[in-house]
Amino acid sequence: MINVTEKAAAHIRQQLDKRGNAVGMRLGVRKSGCTGFMYVVDYVDQLGANDQVYDQHGIKVVVDTESLPYLEGTEIDYVRSNALNQGLEFRNPNVKDACGCGESFNV
């Protein structure tokens, strides 16, 4: 299960509305960085056969089956620490270690 907070859903909805024809937001992982994996966020224009869809607060978060084991239980939130620092935050219970800059993680 992927959980989306109401604040994150509102932010994602704004981004999807700007895009126009997107079905939802894709969340995945790819091998990268100094600790192993990094999050990949993109628009979804069309669902694939290997996609798992999580519909919460009026938005769809789409995760491919290869990424799902690394993301299971993740909560997506939208945080704003000040006027300049704001964005999606991923609270992933599977993360064992993360790099100092926060760009990559290990499970």
Taking the domains of the chain in order of start, what are their residue ranges? 3-106
Q: Is 23 helix (H, G, I), strand (E, B) or coil?
A: coil
> What does the DSSP 8-state code read for residue 75?
E
Whole-prediction pTM: 0.85
The residue length of the chain stands at: 107
- Which is nearest to 86 in space by CA: 38, 2, 14, 26? 14
CATH topology classification for 3-106: Hypothetical Protein Aq_1857; Chain: A; (2.60.300)
List per-residue pLDDT tens for the chain, 107 residues long.
999 999 999 999 999 999 888 999 999 998 876 668 888 999 999 999 999 999 999 999 999 999 999 999 999 999 988 777 889 999 989 887 766 555 666 77
